[in-house]
């Protein structure tokens, strides 16, 4: 639910898919009993049953995110001038240094 003050309209639609500071999610009971101030219009948007559930775009975005997370991290190369000579091994992004 959200309000459009300029049009004096309360808009009631499906649950939000992301956090919006001026929108509120209501349960079925409260959405059915919603009333607006006198002179305001309540616009009820019915969700499209065919649009519910994951879309092709959602599944492709998820697959891309999984592929990106599975890629090995690029190995950062240290320039020879910056090398201290005390590095003994590497473990992921961490370097093990000798205590010399």
pTM over 0.75: no
- Cα 87 → chain centroid: 39
Residue-wise pLDDT tens digits, 61-83: 888 888 888 888 777 765 655 55
Provide CB contacts within 8 A for 92, sequence distance 6+. 73
Helix (H) or strand (E) holding 94, with range, is strand 94-97
**Terminal CA-to-CA distance of the chain, rounded, Å?**
65
User: What is the three-class DSSP state of 3?
Assistant: strand
What pLDDT, on the 0 to 100 scale, is given for residue 22? 83
CA–CA distance, 34 with 10 (Å, rounded to integer): 9
Q: What is the mean pLDDT of residues 75-92?
A: 66
Q: What is the mean pLDDT of residues 1-26?
A: 85
Domain spans, the chain: 2-68
What pLDDT, on the 0 to 100 scale, is given for residue 84? 60
Instruction: Evaluate the CA torsion angle 24, 15, 2, 28 in order and state its sign.
Output: negative
């Amino acid at each position: 639910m959200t309000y459009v003050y300029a049009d004096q309209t309360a808009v009631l639609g499906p649950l939000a898919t992301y956090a919006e500071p001026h929108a509120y999610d209501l349960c079925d009971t409260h959405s059915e009993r919603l009333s607006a101030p006198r002179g305001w219009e309540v616009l009820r948007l019915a969700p499209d049953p065919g649009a519910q559930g994951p879309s092709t775009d959602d599944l492709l975005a998820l697959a891309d995110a999984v592929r990106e997370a599975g890629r090995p991290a690029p190995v950062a190369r240290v320039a020879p001038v910056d090398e201290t000579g005390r590095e003994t091994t590497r473990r992921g992004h961490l370097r093990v240094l000798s205590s010399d």
